[in-house]
C-alpha cells in the first residue's frame, strides 16, 4: 500500500485500515485524519506520535490501559485483537508452561499494583524470556519513567503495525 492509495481513502476506509495501529485507540486515528492528505506513511506515524506526546499523563496512562496483558485473560479467552494475537504468538506467549504463565501473571499484577497501568512492551521485538526479564527490571523504575517507557513501546508497536500494513501483508486472518 502506498501513500497515494491512502490519500484516496475516505475517512471510513482510513479508519478501517489504520484504526488499530494504537491498540484499541481508534480516536487517535480519527484525530490524525484531520492532517490528511499525508506526505508519507511515516507522516501518519509522526502525527500519531505528536498526538500522543501532547496528551497529559492521564491520557498516556489511558493508552497503556487499552493494551491487553501479555499472556493475560484476553489471550486465554481468545478475545485479543488480531494484531495483538499475532504479536503475542510471535513472542512465544501462546505456548507457555503453567509455571511461566503463573510467573507472568504475578509480574503483571505486581506491575499494575505499583503503576496503575499494565506493562507494555513491543512483543514482536522480544520473546517470553526477555519479557519476564524486562518486567522484573522495569518494576524497579519510578512511575514517571515507566509511563514514558510504556509509551515508547506503544510507538514501536505502532511502527511495526504500519509497516505490516504498508507491506500489503494486511492483517493476519484469525
Ligand X SMILES: NC(=O)NC1=NC(=O)NC1=O
Catalytic residues: 67
CA proximity to 94, closest of 121, 76, 119, 109: 76
Q: Does 146 bind ligand X (CB under 6 A)?
A: no
Specify the length of the chain in residues: 174
Give one DSSP letter per residue of 126-154, joined into a string: --HHHHHHHHHHHTTS-HHHHHHHHHHHH
For ligand X, the closer of residues 37 and 170 by Cβ is 170
Smallest gap from Cβ 68 to ligand X, in A, equals 5
Smallest gap from Cβ 108 to ligand X, in A, equals 8
Kindly determine how many residues on this chain lie close enough to bind ligand X according to the rule CB under 6 A.
15
Spatial separation of the C-alpha atoms in residues 83 and 127, rounded to whole Å: 16
Residues 148-167 that bind ligand X (CB under 6 A): 157
Residue with cell 519513567: 145
Phi and psi (nearest 5°) for 139?
Answer: -60, -25
For ligand X, the closer of residues 47 and 83 by Cβ is 83
Smallest gap from Cβ 100 to ligand X, in A, equals 16
Spatial separation of the C-alpha atoms in residues 108 and 7, rounded to whole Å: 40
For ligand X, the closer of residues 11 and 129 by Cβ is 129
Residues 60-119 that bind ligand X (CB under 6 A): 67-70, 84, 87-88, 118-119
Residues engaged in binding ligand X (CB under 6 A) = 67-70, 84, 87-88, 118-124, 157
Amino acid at each position: 500500500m502506498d501513500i497515494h492509495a491512502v490519500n484516496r481513502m475516505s475517512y471510513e476506509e482510513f479508519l478501517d485500515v489504520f484504526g488499530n495501529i494504537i491498540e484499541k485507540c481508534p480516536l487517535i486515528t480519527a484525530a490524525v485524519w484531520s492532517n490528511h492528505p499525508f506526505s508519507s506513511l511515516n507522516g501518519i506515524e509522526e502525527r500519531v506520535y505528536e498526538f500522543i506526546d501532547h496528551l497529559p499523563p492521564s491520557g498516556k496512562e489511558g493508552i497503556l490501559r487499552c493494551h491487553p496483558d501479555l499472556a493475560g485473560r484476553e489471550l486465554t479467552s481468545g478475545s485479543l485483537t488480531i494484531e495483538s494475537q499475532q504479536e503475542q504468538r510471535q513472542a512465544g506467549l501462546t505456548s507457555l508452561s503453567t509455571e511461566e504463565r503463573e510467573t507472568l501473571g504475578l509480574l503483571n499484577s505486581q506491575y499494575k499494583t505499583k503503576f496503575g497501568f499494565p506493562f507494555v512492551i513491543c512483543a514482536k521485538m522480544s520473546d517470553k524470556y526477555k519479557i519476564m526479564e524486562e518486567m522484573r527490571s522495569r518494576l524497579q523504575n519510578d512511575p514517571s519513567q515507566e509511563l514514558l517507557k510504556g509509551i515508547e513501546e506503544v510507538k514501536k508497536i505502532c511502527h511495526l503495525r504500519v509497516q505490516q500494513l504498508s507491506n500489503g501483508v494486511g492483517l493476519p486472518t484469525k
